[in-house]
Amino acid sequence: MGGLTKEYVLQRVLMWFLTIWIGVTLTFAIPRMGKGDPVSVIVSRMMQRQGYVENANEIIESYKRRFGLNDPIMVQYIRYLGNVVRFDYGYSLTRFPTPAGEIVRPALPWTLGLLIVASTLSFGVGVTVGALMGWRKTPAWLQNILPASLTFTSIPYFMFGILLIFVFAFWLKILPATGGYSRDVDPAFNWTFISDVLQHAILPLFSIVVTSMGGWALGMRGLMIGVNNEDYFLLAQAKGLSPTRVFFRYGIRNAILPALTAFALGLGGLISGSTLVEWIFAYPGTGYVLYRSITALDYSVMQNICNLMIIITATGVLALDLLNPLIDPRITFKKSAAS
């Protein structure tokens, strides 16, 4: 194994910084491209509810000065970059004086738990189904059944989520439709609360796994078909090794590397899709909080969540790039000698 070189590691780390910088810059710029500002939106909503707000213009100007919205755009941008480095996004615009971090922090474990389980199941099940579809030794009856598992692949996460709510929550009435846990259950580390959380997570989890596993399955099927003709794979079968060992050790292990790379690159799409799922199910994760912050133009909370997504995705890609040689020893990043 050639191993990693210092030049390659430095290049990937610099690319990681560049990716995050571009992402956080877009997070800063995009909300400000729309019409209006969050303070005016808040006051206008107060006027709609109450009919009249005394000294509305003075309140708007006071809040703009308080949050620095009247400063030149470059001053706001530099201050924003400093906040990103310190992971401090200041106060929420709509829930002042609550810091943005205090709004995002309680929602983060819900999203991480849902995404970790969903991504692991989606990738693991999809890769296994695809490998079985591409393996010549798979029984014919299983080959005929497996494609049916990809039926819902073309349906968006949120549309499939609506279908699940109708079938399992309103028609069969066997699973809760929304929320992270029941209102009559006190949050505590006991089986009652844990089982209730698991019941509420089934539908969001199922909607993500079923609709996203098809991509991994189709990609892995093509990779497995290529492995079928490799000499080492045919030799392992000729030696009389068990089909299970041949399938996992010589088949999936050698075909999975491109799928892992695609998985890291697809984390962003998985995270964005889970945001809509959390909104559909009113799941108390960062996706639901992000939706509410977007509708309220709460810049601080919005930027906090989006930047977390960007950092998680970029870090996942970086980690996979550095782990590739450990997954497949044939990979080397050393420069070839000049001929």
Residue pLDDT, tens place only, 21-30: 998 898 888 7
Reduced to 3 states (helix: H, G, I; strand: E, B; else coil), residue 278 is helix
Between residues 272 and 149, which one has the greater pLDDT?
149
- Domains of the chain are 1-105+299-339 (no CATH), 108-284 (1.10.3720.10)
Say if CB 296 and CB 94 are below 8 A apart.
yes
Residue 1: band (very low, low, confident or very high) from pLDDT cuts 50, 70, 90 = very low
- DSSP strand E in the chain: where? none
Per-residue model confidence (pLDDT) at position 338: 46
Residue pLDDT, tens place only, 59-75: 666 666 666 666 777 88
Q: Which residues contact 312 (CB under 8 A, 6 or more apart)?
A: 267, 271
Residue pLDDT, tens place only, 210-256: 888 877 787 888 888 888 878 888 888 888 888 888 888 888 877 77
Residue pLDDT, tens place only, 40-62: 666 666 555 655 556 656 666 66
Q: Which residues pair with 91 in a beta bridge?
A: 99
Secondary-structure percent of the chain, ordered helix, strand, coil, rounded to 5: 70, 0, 25
Radius of gyration of the chain (CA): 25
Please give the Cα distance from 181 to 51 (Å, whole number).
36
Residue 2 has pLDDT above 80, yes or no: no
Task: Identify which of 260, 252, 246 has the alpha carbon closest to the alpha carbon of residue 325.
Answer: 260
Measuring CA to CA, how many Å separate 107 from each of 22, 56, 90, 198, 245?
A: 25, 33, 17, 16, 42
**Model pTM?**
0.72
Please give the Cα distance from 252 to 223 (Å, whole number).
9
Q: Mean per-residue pLDDT for 263-285?
A: 75
Q: How large a percentage of the chain has pLDDT more than 70?
A: 80
DSSP structural state of residue 166: I
Measuring CA to CA, how many Å separate 41 from each of 18, 37, 48, 295, 306?
A: 34, 6, 11, 10, 21
Residue pLDDT, tens place only, 168-201: 888 888 888 888 878 777 777 778 888 888 888 8
The whole-chain average pLDDT of the chain stands at 78
Residue pLDDT, tens place only, 137-175: 888 887 777 777 777 777 777 788 888 888 888 888 888
Q: Which residues contact 221 (CB under 8 A, 6 or more apart)?
A: 130, 131, 133, 134
Q: What is the DSSP string of 208-230?
A: HHHHHHHHHHHHHHHHHHHHTT-
Residue 124 has pLDDT above 60, yes or no: yes
Residue 269 has pLDDT above 70, yes or no: no
Instruction: Classify residue 117 as exposed, middle or buried by CB count within 10 Å of its CB (0-12, 13-18, 19+).
Output: middle
Residue 332 has pLDDT above 60, yes or no: no
DSSP structural state of residue 79: H
- Token output for 183: 């209102």
Say if CB 327 and CB 127 are below 8 A apart.
no
Instruction: Classify residue 251 as exposed, middle or buried by CB count within 10 Å of its CB (0-12, 13-18, 19+).
Output: buried
